[in-house]
Each structure stands twice: as C-alpha cells, then as structure tokens.
Amino acid sequence: MSKFIIEQSPGLSGTVRISGAKNSALPIIAAVLLSEGQCRIEDVPLLKDVINMCELLKWLGFKTTIEKNECISIQSSRIKKHFVPYELASQMRASFLVMGPLLSRVGKTRVSLPGGCAIGTRPIDLHLKGFAAMGAKITQGHGYVEAKAKKLKGAKIYLDFPSVGATENIMMAACLAEGQTIIENAAVEPEIVDLANFLVNMGAHIKGAGTDTIKIEGVKKLKGCTHTVIPDRIEAGTFMIAAAITKGNIRIENVVTDHLKPISAKMREIGVEIMEEETAIIINAKEKFKSIDIKTLPFPGFPTDMQAQFMALMSIIEGTSIIIETIFENRFMHVSELKRMGANIKIEGRSAVVEGVKKMTGAKVKATDLRAGAALVLAALTAQGESEIKDVKHIDRGYYELEKKLCALGAKIRKIDVDDEEIE
Ligand code: UD1
C-alpha cells in the first residue's frame, strides 16, 4: 500500500513523454492468444494490469518475457488451459478479453465473471450475445461463464451500445471463425483501431475498424508480428489538465493529436492555449478560465475516462459548470473527496453541478478508482497546503510512473509506502 503526499505546486513546466495506452496494450496482449508465432509488443506501459495480463497468458501456456525498455515478447505455444480462475480474473476486469481469443482458438473457454466495480455494474451481456450469434453455447453458474463452439461461424452482430470491450472481444473471436462477421454499431475508439492493426499485422482480414461497421473475414491461422502500442490519450489528457490547473506550460510528447480532439476542444473552450505539432502538444495556461459544460459520450465524444480530471479543473473555475455522465452509472465517486478539498459540487442523478471556488485546500482523501485518483492528484497540485492521497494502488493501475513524471515538471509529490494497518 502507498500514499501520495502532495504540496501545492504552481506553474508546472517542462516536457513529458506519454506512455503507450493501457487500454490498447491489454486487448493486444489478449489477442496474442490467436497467434502461432512470436509477438513483440513495443511501448507497453508496465502497469499492474499489464503485468497481470502477461501472467494470465503464462497461466494459459504462453512464454511471456517482459523486457526493460517497455517491450514485451510473447512466444505462442500450445494452449494448455482454457479457463481463467477467480483468483486471476478478480485482479483485473480486462481478463475477460481472453474469452474471444480462447473460444476462437480452442473452441471452449470458462472465465470467472468480472463482477461490478467502483464505477458501475459493468455487465458483459453484449460480449456474450456476440459469441452466441457466432454459434457458441453459453452457460453461466457458480460465478463462471462458459462458452463452447466446435467452430465459430461468422455472423451479423448489432451491438445495442458501442461497447469497447464487446467490440474487441467479438472482433478477436471472428478472426479465426468460418466466414464473414459484421459488427454493426461497433465502438470507434482509437484503441479498437490499434487492436485491428495488430490483428491485421498477424494476418487477419479486417476492414472498417474506426467506423461503426467492422467486417472480419475469418482466416485459418494467424502468425506472430511486431507492433507498437498507440500513445495513451487519457494520460496525455491528464497532463493537459495538470498544466491548466497549475497555470503552467507543458510540452507533451508522443501523442496523436487527432485522438485528443475531444479533450483539446474543451480545453480551448475553457481558455487554455494549445499548440499542436505532429506528435506533440504544448499547453500554455495563462488566460483567465471560463466555466464549461461536458457530456461524456463514446468516441469521438468527450471520454468518460477524463470526466473526473476535468471536474477537478472546473472546481476552481469561476461560474457554474455542468457535467453529464452518460457512460457509467456510478462515476461520481470522486465528488465527495473533491468536496473535502473545498470544491462545491452537487450531484443530481447523472449530472454534477460544479460551482467554481476561489481556492481548494489540502486534505486527506482516498482514491476510489483509477481516474478518480488522478483527479485528486490534480486537485492537490492546486490546493493550498498539503494533501494526502490514500489507495494509490488504483492510480498505479493506469498511470505509468505518474509521480515521477509530475515531479520532473516541478510538482512536489512524495510516494510513501505504508502498512495496511495505517490505511485502516
Ligand atoms: C473500456 C475502457 C475504459 C473506458 C470504457 C468506456 C478498457 C480496458 N477499458 O471499458 O477505460 O472507461 O471503455 O470508454 O479498455 N456495457 C453493457 N454490456 C456489455 C458491455 C458494456 O451494458 O456487455 C455498458 C457498460 O456497463 C458501460 C458502457 O456499456 O455502461 C460502456 O462500456 P464499455 O465500452 O464496454 O467499456 P469497457 O470496455 O468495459
């Protein structure tokens, strides 16, 4: 267990390099289960979730080597097991992403149900409907879901909601299925395109990734390949807010500016100056900020994964800002913690009304989930005095060396290991 001690840190400045995207790396590592060769994945953020996914592949029989320079090599071999026990699945929600590849490659899979989490119930019905449409027999019991199909058959699948995970799982399952699969109302997030590019590199036939209709023509085999993970747009967005909230000036390198458009548009509306280069973005926050409204939506709408961090910034902008969360039903866990730091926020159903305050004040707070934790770190950078953020493990799940990167920009952050008793 660790905690952060953060002092007010005005005017962050300097250059930061963004790591590879966690939400790309996880499905890509799961997709290696489809290959019959050696895969090398570069620019992988070596986060707890990523290490857990590698452990899962090892458990299933693959040889996984984590190299020093944020690179992972995975050697395909015979898949020894087809089930994921509770102990492994409960470590990480994304473990469910091995279901599509396992079903497609070995014709059966049994995975512990992921269950809810701090931000909502997070059902998997759309994943299962997709597998069933491809001919799989699905059964559930004792906390597990099982899918079986001698050979998956291509199908036309309409998703009721453009779920990122369901699109990824079905796309992976379809790669080795017989015939053509069409996913309609598919998610269009950049991470879907990255996964599709990886699968195509391995020899899959996929068209339309990044649009709402993805067509996959099943092939007999997939080979190994080398792939570089796209930069993490949420990490980049978090550093954009770090620059704004501290009235700083930060150059953010290794970004795809197109992926950041929904975030940049809102930052500009607030009054933040943004300069774009080919693979970098420079944030300059000198002007007076204006309050804004935000509604989270699937890409290219405003990302739910940036909602909490924007709320931290809105908390110190004069006037009223409104946030509507449409993706997850319970994603306002950070509100009570931000209020402990002096923010003035009211929740009404899926909306949050934020009345800007002149200043926030340092307090003892708790990270309840990954992005909520990031929001508290950002708030602590502007809050007067010292803040203590407990349960940093949530933040470590999604940000690679966040405190080191922020310290290099001038932030005053210390990470302290504490024993469990003190946390209680
Ligand atoms: C992924 C991201 C997560 C991000 C989210 C939305 C990963 C590892 N995680 O999560 O960071 O916040 O996309 O951009 O990539 N739903 C159903 N049934 C299903 C599947 C989803 O009702 O079978 C609902 C969910 O409860 C949620 C919404 O659809 O309300 C969006 O979920 P989804 O897009 O699937 O998110 P994840 O893939 O879990």
Q: Determine the atom of ligand 1 nearest the C-alpha atom of 168.
A: 38
* Residue 420: per-residue pLDDT: 54
Cα(395)–Cα(377) distance, integer angstroms? 9
| The pLDDT of residue 423 is above 80 | no
By alpha-carbon position, which residue is closest to atom 37 of ligand 1?
165
Helix (H) or strand (E) holding 274: strand 273-276
* Residue 121: per-residue pLDDT: 74
* Residue 77: per-residue pLDDT: 81
- What is the distance in angstroms between the CA of the first residue and the CA of the last residue of the chain? 11
Residues 6 or more apart from 64 whose CB is under 8 A from it?
Answer: 54, 55, 57, 58, 72, 73, 74, 75
- With a 6 A CB cut-off, is 395 part of the ligand 1 pocket? no
* Residue 115: per-residue pLDDT: 60
Residue 298 per-residue DSSP state:
S
Cα(238)–Cα(19) distance, integer angstroms? 12
Q: Ligand 1 mean position to 363 CA, how many Å?
A: 32
Q: What is the reported pTM?
A: 0.96
CA 331 → CA 122, 178, 300, 335, distances in Å?
12, 40, 20, 9
Q: Looking at this protein, which amino acid is placed at residue 222?
A: L
By alpha-carbon position, which residue is closest to atom 4 of ligand 1?
305
Q: Which of 26, 158, 309, 327 to mutate to test the pocket of ligand 1 (most atoms within 8 A of CB)?
A: 327
Cα(13)–Cα(246) distance, integer angstroms? 9
Beta strands 144-148; 320-324: pairing state: unpaired
- With a 6 A CB cut-off, is 10 part of the ligand 1 pocket? no
> H helices then E strands: how many in the chain?
15, 24
- With a 6 A CB cut-off, is 327 part of the ligand 1 pocket? yes
* Residue 117: per-residue pLDDT: 65
* Residue 130: per-residue pLDDT: 98
Cα(258)–Cα(173) distance, integer angstroms? 29
Q: Ligand 1 mean position to 166 CA, how many Å?
A: 8
Q: Are 401 and 379 in contact (CB under 8 A)?
A: no
Q: Determine the atom of ligand 1 nearest the C-alpha atom of 187.
A: 34
- With a 6 A CB cut-off, is 31 part of the ligand 1 pocket? no
Beta bridge partners of 242: none
- With a 6 A CB cut-off, is 124 part of the ligand 1 pocket? yes
* Active-site hit among 117, 175, 225, 407: 117
For the record, the structure tokens of 389 come out as: 């953020």
* Residue 91: per-residue pLDDT: 81
- With a 6 A CB cut-off, is 305 part of the ligand 1 pocket? yes
* Residue 14: per-residue pLDDT: 98
| The pLDDT of residue 231 is above 80 | yes
Mean pLDDT of the chain, nearest integer = 94
- Sign, Cα dihedral of 166, 80, 69, 377: positive
Q: Where are the beta strands (DSSP E) in 143-272?
A: 144-148, 156-158, 180-184, 205-207, 213-217, 226-228, 249-253
- With a 6 A CB cut-off, is 166 part of the ligand 1 pocket? yes
Tell which wins on pLDDT, 146 or 69: 146
**Catalytic annotation present for 117:** yes
- The 3-state DSSP composition of the chain as helix, strand, coil percent (nearest 5) reads 35, 30, 35
The mean pLDDT of 403-410, rounded to a whole number, is 98
The mean pLDDT of 260-286, rounded to a whole number, is 97
- With a 6 A CB cut-off, is 369 part of the ligand 1 pocket? no
Beta strands 226-228; 38-42: pairing state: parallel
Tell which wins on pLDDT, 118 or 58: 58
Cα(106)–Cα(167) distance, integer angstroms? 20
Report the 10 Å Cβ neighbour count for 30.
Answer: 25
* Residue 421: per-residue pLDDT: 45
Q: What is the pLDDT of residues 114-155, one digit of tens each?
A: 765 677 778 899 999 999 999 999 999 998 999 999 999 999
- Sign, Cα dihedral of 67, 72, 74, 79: positive
| The pLDDT of residue 241 is above 90 | yes
Q: What is the pLDDT of residues 295-345, one digit of tens each?
A: 999 999 999 999 999 999 999 999 999 999 999 988 999 999 999 999 999
| The pLDDT of residue 293 is above 50 | yes
| The pLDDT of residue 422 is above 60 | no
Beta strands 249-253; 280-284: pairing state: antiparallel
Cα(286)–Cα(11) distance, integer angstroms? 10
Q: Where are the beta strands (DSSP E) in 95-179?
A: 108-112, 137-141, 144-148, 156-158
* Residue 278: per-residue pLDDT: 95
Q: Which of 239, 234, 238 is nearest to 13 (CA)?
A: 239
* Residue 188: per-residue pLDDT: 98
Tell which wins on pLDDT, 424 or 43: 43
* Residue 311: per-residue pLDDT: 98
By alpha-carbon position, which residue is closest to atom 28 of ligand 1?
327
* Residue 128: per-residue pLDDT: 96
Q: Determine the atom of ligand 1 nearest the C-alpha atom of 303.
A: 14
| The pLDDT of residue 424 is above 50 | no
Q: Are 2 and 407 in contact (CB under 8 A)?
A: no
